[in-house]
Amino acid sequence: MNVKIKKRIIAKKRAEELLEYAIYNSKNNVPLSIVQANIIKNLCTKFNVRLDFSNRMLFCHKCKRFIVPGFNSRIRLSKIRKSINITCLFCGYSYRKMIVNSQT
């Protein structure tokens, strides 16, 4: 296996672990969680690693800050459009995630 690919795999694992710690620390120690989120962004940028969609939703699309649902973001459910509206309380940017009904 190529050295570059190995580094990417390690970086992705560490980013996922750091994200878990950042979510846990967001309730108790907010400055630490912000630092951890910045480390995650730098890791992903340096090693060209892409986070999963659910993990990317934890960062504001406009100001790129780490947002935790309920603490520094507001989440609303829309019945008409069948979407989740997420509003960043730092910059006020609002974006939607559409809910798709899966038929099995």
Q: What is the count of structural domains for the chain?
A: 2
Q: What is the CA radius of gyration of the chain?
A: 16
Cα 58 to Cα 3, 4, 45, 51, 79: the distances in Å are: 30, 27, 16, 10, 22
Taking only the tens place, the pLDDT of each residue in 4-61 is 999 999 999 999 999 999 999 998 998 999 999 999 999 999 999 999 988 998 999 9
Q: What is the pLDDT of residue 2?
A: 93
Residues 52 and 1 in one domain: yes
Residues 74 and 104 in one domain: yes
Residues 4 and 49 in one domain: yes
Residues 52 and 71 in one domain: no
* Structural domain of 74: 62-104
Q: What pTM, to 2 d.p., does this model score?
A: 0.83
Please say if the pLDDT value at position 103 is more than 70. no
Q: What is the pLDDT of residue 101?
A: 75
Residues 2 and 50 in one domain: yes
Residues 68 and 92 in one domain: yes
Confidence of residue 102 (pLDDT cuts 50, 70, 90): low
Residues 39 and 72 in one domain: no
Residues 44 and 66 in one domain: no
Residues 51 and 94 in one domain: no
Residues 10 and 29 in one domain: yes
Q: Which residues lie across from 74 on neighbouring strands?
A: 87
